[in-house]
Structure 1
């Protein structure tokens, strides 16, 4: 089974978004700008840190065909 793919939308202002070019997996997003858009859950100094998605983006799942 392959990893879920997402369209990524950047929040431009209070009434709109702008689509990033391309389709990304969460693994792809975690590598962009050292996790500035998405971080997978990890074990930190204070315990397990949850998944984090930058509030300035919106991930929309792409339906598998």
Structure 2
């Protein structure tokens, strides 16, 4: 049987042209009125994961 890709991971990260993994900062759409303008502005930026695609494929395991 073929290995399956973790769908939860593929929905949360994006791969750049250079092979870096980008994630969206959590909590951006929840209770925005209680946050300052500075925090809301900073949340719009995406964050880079410390892994490349090559390294992530070595580290990650497939779930069945």
| Both proteins in one fold, TM over 0.5 | no
Question: Which structure: greater helix fraction?
Answer: 2
Taking structure 1 as the reference length, the TM-score comes to: 0.29
Taking structure 2 as the reference length, the TM-score comes to: 0.29
